[in-house]
Structure formats: structure tokens, C-alpha cells
Amino acid sequence: METEARLTKLASCAGCGAKVGAGTLSKLLQDFKTRTDPRLVVGFDKSDDASVYVVNDETALIQTVDFFPPIVDDPYLFGQIAATNAISDIYAMGGEPRLALNVLCVTETMEEEWIREILHGGYDKAYEAGVIISGGHTIHGSEPLYGLAVTGFARPDKIRKNDAAEPGDMLILTKPLGVGILTTAAKAGMMTDDAVMKRIYQQMTMLNGEACRIMQKYRVHSCTDVTGFGLMGHSCEMAQGSGCTLHIQTGRIPFHPEAQEMADMGLVPAGAYRNRDFAEKAVSLRGNISRAMQDILYDPQTSGGLLIAVDERDGEALLRELQDHIPDAAGIGYVTEREEKELMIEA
């Protein structure tokens, strides 16, 4: 829909680029007194995509919440992207999303039609995912925010955590990088190619459900979705949690070529610098890797793809099946025993 004013102008940052840095979160949560329960197999201490509580031998409950400021000016599209992004955390854990609650903050100047369209976009994307939005909470604030608290389910033996990669695993990424850079450029009026932005919007509203369903057929050891912490931040968490080193081959990484051009011009979101501050100490560069490519690796993604660590015996078969349904999926590296650094980035 057309809007005379720009929704993104009501927010100081956009999408997952607004996410607080991973290093900051670790410090904020340090030394909190919390209850323990052996059935809580994934909690906030694991730096994973969602919490997991085992109900019984057949059922694990998965819970997550995700919301952010507008990343686009179209309210309906913003609602779709925010819902897709929130639901993705359930898929990253290997689950099926089932229930959700709206999380919405509106400003005094927002038109009622904008608010309705944001919610409409969220409801439509939830319906596509098979999710029931059963309620929610709305407040007034200085900036618009929207997202979902999502509940999903899985068999306990099908849970895929971000800290279980094993030496020999093949690394697969299911969506191209560069979304944060390109949406930053669009907000600055520097990316005016409608075809490029349409491609970006289609990617951000593509559910990771098909990728999740396909990966569950194979010996996948670990999985996470690549969102606000960028490929480097989420890879760093996987490497540290698994006690391994991830080798990432830049020549095989799918990315939007226009993002490299924008990065060369310095149009990089602030979140990329926060991600670099968090992960750079764990990174070793091998070969000539341009600053623009490094920016893409640290770029915060909104509604990004899955990063999958799969047993090397299943890697090629999984990749072929993924590419039959998700052509941009690519093998981007491999896992070894822990080396000097957690992340080896190879030209």
C-alpha cells in the first residue's frame, strides 16, 4: 500500500539492526539468580534461538519472542517481515510453530490504517505458517515496534541446538546475506532499484519452514538462524558453544552483489559494527578478503536463513534437496576440532 509519510522515519534503527549486541547481553545477564529445572534443556544461558522445555518423552515446548522497528515503509509488508522473523526461531530449533501473541508498540502520530495493516501482515504470515495468533499486548511509545511471541513443539530428539556442531560437519546457509546493508541504503535513498528491493522483500518474507522440514530428514547436528548478530556473530556462538572451529569460505557464500557496492560506499548499519566488536576477536582471516566482504559477513540480517551443521555423510544430499526448493542455499564451509580461533574465514 502507498503511504504519504515514511514509516521508517518514525524509527531510529531498522529491523534486526536494532538488536542489542551479543557481548552486551552477556554482561547484562551475568550473575542473575535463576531457578533450574532438568526439563529446561535450553535456557537464556545457552545463547540459542529459543527456550526448550521437555514436557514428556514425545513433546518439547519451544518458546521465543522477537520484535523490532520498521525496516520498510509499507505497514503490511513490515508486519509480514516481523512475523516471519519471529517464527523463524522455532524453525531454527527444529520445531513446528503453533501459537503466537502479538507484541505491538504504536506512536501517537500513527494512522489507524497503518496499525491495522501491520497486524494484517502479521496475521497473514502466521496463517501461512500454520500459526494461531491468540492474543497479544499493545502499548504507546516513541517508536513503532512489532513482532510475535511464538510457541512451537517438537519431539525432544528432534530439537536442533546451536551448540552441537561436530568436526567434519558441512556448513550450509539457506538465504543470501546483505539485507541489512541494502535496507540501510534504501532508508538513505541510495538504493532505488525496485527490482533489487523486491527481491530483498521476498527473501525477508520467505518462511524457513521448508528448510526446517527438509533438514529434519538428515543427520543435522546443529542449527541457528542468521539474524541480528550477522553470519559472524551467530557462527561465533555456534563455534564457542560446540567447542569447535568453523571454517567459512567466502567464495561460496551467497550474498546480494548490490550489497558489496553499497558497503564499498560506507552504507553499513550500526549493528554490523556491534557484531564486529563482539565476534572479531574470534576471527582469523586467511587470504585477501575485502573490507566490503567483511562488512557483509558482519551485516545484521532481518529474517535471515538457517545456518546448518550437518554430518559430512549427509551434507551433499541435504544441500541438493534444499536447492531443489531453495535455490540460494549453499555449502559455505566445514567444521574442525578447535583451532587457534573459533572462526577461520577463508578467501
Banded model confidence at residue 4, pLDDT cuts 50, 70, 90: very low
Q: Does residue 133 contact residue 79 with C-beta atoms inside 8 Å?
A: no
Integer distance in angstroms from the first to the last C-alpha of the chain?
Answer: 42
Domains 7-158 and 170-346 share a fold: no
Domain at 170-346: CATH architecture:
Alpha-Beta Complex (3.90)
Max intra-chain CA distance, the chain: 56
Check whether 1 has a pLDDT greater than 50: no
Check whether 26 has a pLDDT greater than 50: yes
Q: Which DSSP symbol is given to 5?
A: S
What CATH class is the domain 7-158?
A: alpha beta
Query: Within a 13 Å sphere around the CA of 206, how many CA atoms are in the beta-carbon half?
Result: 19
- Overall average pLDDT of the 176-190 stretch: 93
Q: Does residue 229 contact residue 19 with C-beta atoms inside 8 Å?
A: yes
Please report, for the chain, the start and end positions of each structural domain, with discontinuous segments joined by +: 7-158, 170-346
Residues 6+ apart with CB under 8 A from 295: 181, 263, 268, 272
Q: Does residue 99 contact residue 63 with C-beta atoms inside 8 Å?
A: no
Helix extents (H) in 130-242? 179-187, 194-204, 209-215, 230-242
Strand-pairing partners, residue 52, are 42, 62
- Overall average pLDDT of the 43-56 stretch: 87
d(CA 50, CA 161): 9
105 included as an active-site residue: no
pLDDT 10s digits, 98-130: 999 999 999 998 999 999 999 999 999 999 999
- Please give the pLDDT value at position 3: 43
Q: Write the CA distances from 127 to 95, 153, 226, integer angstroms.
A: 16, 17, 23
pTM of the model: 0.92
Check whether 2 has a pLDDT greater than 50: no
Check whether 291 has a pLDDT greater than 50: yes
Q: Given 16, 105, 212, 223, which residue is catalytic?
A: 16
